[in-house]
Amino acid sequence: MRAIMQREFKEYIYSLRGIAFAVLFLIVSGISYIRFCFGGASFLFSDIYNEISKALVLLCPILMMDYSIRTKGKTNPDILLFSSPVSTSSIIIARFFAAWLYYEIVLVSTVICIPLISYYRTIAAGDVFINYLTLSLLGAVLIAVCQFFASICSSRFTMYVSGASVLFVFYVFSNTELLIPDGASSYILKMFSVFNAYQELASGIFSFSAVIRLLSMVFLFLFVSRMATEMRFRTGRSI
């Protein structure tokens, strides 16, 4: 599993999708930091990461775009990989952690902006830690969701559109959860409203239920990714 993770991580460093994600993420982050410096008191420090979290709806699918076309061709390395003694679960987990590690490195690289913007505005160290931690958890969920769609789609375009669309629906769920009366529908919406869970944690008040919801979504989509991948290689069918 370690070797698979290292191979996948190197692909992010040298591939177009990895470079594109990093560049776009840093551009969005830079714009948000500039707005914080010169936007006045109405633009809070947490607003920086709220804007980044919204941008992740369009950015995270980029990380998984190449996975969707790897099953083409009899000599494709993924066919050899899935026919090896390594379990499908190990492959799925290794790919997830490779993508998440790359995401974390790009995210943490923006820390260098903190000393610069602290020259213009006062920033509490606790706020920095909380916002980076919560954005890290949110990124894990979005990557897991995109990995599922990469396992069922046969083209980059289909994978990107499907992944981004579902992530946008999750964002909408977070805004409509309060409009649904209590019941089964409300419970389902609350489970999938990952952005609401992110907001709860980013507010500075620890919520065990929010952490459980985010981690549950990661495990759920990694599980269905494993099921979908096995079915795809068994039947050869994809979207």
Indicate the helix (H) or strand (E) that contains 42.
none
Mean pLDDT over residues 161-189, rounded?
A: 71
- Which residue in the block uniquely carries the two structure tokens 């079915």? 231
Q: Rounded to the nearest 5 degrees, what angle is found at the Cα of 212, between the Cα atoms of 168 and 107?
A: 55
Higher per-residue confidence, 5 vs 73: 5
DSSP letter string, 138-197: HHHHHHHHHHHHHHH-SSHHHHHHHHHHHHHHHHHHHHHGGGSPSSHHHHHHHHH-HHHH
In which band, very low, low, confident or very high, does the pLDDT at 177 lie, cut at 50, 70 and 90? low
Q: Are 218 and 141 in contact (CB under 8 A)?
A: yes
- What is the model's pTM? 0.86
> Token digits for 17?
């999708």
Q: Are 189 and 180 in contact (CB under 8 A)?
A: yes
| Among 210, 53, 239, residue whose Cα is nearest residue 139 | 53
Q: What is the mean pLDDT of the chain?
A: 82
Residue type for position 98: A
42-99: pLDDT as tens digits: 677 788 888 999 999 999 999 888 765 454 444 454 554 555 667 888 888 999 999 9
